[in-house]
């Protein structure tokens, strides 16, 4: 994976996750995007709706556009499953590719 901050890279990672596994969107230290960031080598992170913090380097970074929507899902439920996030990420990837 050349750039881990592409929708394609996120889709690839989500395809490797058990679809029925849940995560809590509201858990800023262990939500879907935190788990993804940790999987690509960031040890201590926190994620907000528009940015993520790398606590090791004490730096704040913007989230790629619409990644929060993927993690948040389509309703106000607190727990989500990876397969739902994957469906949203795949739809975004198709849109980005003009399909």
What residue segments make up the domains of the chain, in order of their start? 7-97
Q: Which helix or strand (DSSP H or E) is residue 86 part of?
A: helix 82-97
pTM of the model: 0.90
Tell me the pLDDT of the chain (99 aa) as tens digits: 589 999 999 999 999 999 999 898 888 888 999 999 999 999 999 998 899 999 998 999 999 999 999 999 876 666 789 999 999 999 999 999 999
Q: CA nearest 28: which of 63, 65, 66, 75?
A: 63
54: β partners: 45, 59
């Amino acid at each position: 994976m050349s750039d881990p901050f592409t929708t394609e890279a996120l889709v690839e990672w989500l395809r490797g996750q058990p679809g029925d596994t849940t995560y809590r969107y509201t858990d800023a230290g262990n939500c879907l995007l935190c788990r993804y960031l940790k999987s690509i080598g960031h040890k201590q992170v926190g994620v907000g709706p528009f940015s993520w913090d790398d606590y090791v380097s004490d730096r704040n970074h913007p989230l790629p556009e619409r990644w929060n929507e993927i993690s948040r899902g389509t309703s106000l439920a607190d727990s989500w499953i990876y397969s739902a996030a994957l469906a949203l990420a795949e739809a975004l990837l198709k849109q980005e590719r003009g399909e």
